[in-house]
Amino acid sequence: MTEPRLKPVAIPDRSALADKFSHVREWVFDLDNTLYPHHSNLFSQIDVKMTSYVSQLLQLPREEARKVQKRFYLEHGTTLAGLMLHHGIAADDFLEKVHDIDYSWLAPDPKLGDAIRALPGRKMIFTNGSRKHAENAARQLGILDHFDDIFDIVAADLVPKPARETYDKFASLHRVDTARAAMFEDLGRNLIAPKALGMTTVLIVPNNFEATFTEAWEAGPEHDAVIDFVTDDLAGFLGRLAG
């Protein structure tokens, strides 16, 4: 467990904040630990499933399998990418097994749904997970119907964020005007490409900026320059934009 690097920052008042997003007509959201909160701990189920998958595939004890899992995640953006490159696994099999989880851990979030619905323009989910996982999670939250589309790891040709080519593919496929777009993410490294493309960037952190199971290397200070806003309350932040 690591201490959080980021501390609460001053957020403009309602009218000033709304003004800073007045140009945005493309709202792009990561899924895991972004649209649903860190404290739900839903991703921990996926994390455990990935460790089991690696352990069974490589016939390794869980402790060793977890080291491989995290090394692939660090080096390739996702554990899946590393397993495909080094072990030739089938992506469909991996995605199906690691997303076989209990979505009832997520509580419906009508406040978030109302805030997303009120945003002007298109709303999209952009995830390194599968479309099915995104649909299941968003449906459980009660927000699925508020999104225009989902761009998942399959649509990305299995090349995960933070690869720049994946953002380019997303923008091209959906004809996103990146100068009028905002990206919401829980990982600073995944905001590097959006910032370079001209998007307004928002980092989502745990409630009260508490430490979570997030790895220390995922929150390095080298990402500070690409983060425009930080919030630990996505629904509240979006609700302020209605002003």
How does pLDDT run across 81-120, given as a tens digit for each residue? Answer: 999 999 999 999 999 999 999 999 999 999 999 999 999 9
How does pLDDT run across 171-196, given as a tens digit for each residue? Answer: 999 999 999 999 999 999 999 999 99
Q: Please give the model's pTM, rounded to 2 decimal places.
A: 0.87
How does pLDDT run across 120-145, given as a tens digit for each residue? Answer: 999 999 999 999 999 999 999 999 99
Q: What is the DSSP letter of 164?
A: H
Tokens of 105: 């851990």
Buried b or exposed e, range 119-137, using 16+ CB within 10 angstroms: beebbbbbbbbbbebbbbb
Domains along the chain with CATH numbers: 14-40+103-241 (3.40.50.1000), 42-98 (1.10.150)
- Hey, is 106 helix, strand or coil? coil
Buried b or exposed e, range 208-226, using 16+ CB within 10 angstroms: ebeebebeeebbeeebeeb
Residue 190 and residue 178: Cα distance in Å, rounded? 15
pLDDT at position 208 is 61
How does pLDDT run across 4-41, given as a tens digit for each residue? Answer: 344 444 556 778 888 999 999 999 999 999 999 988 99
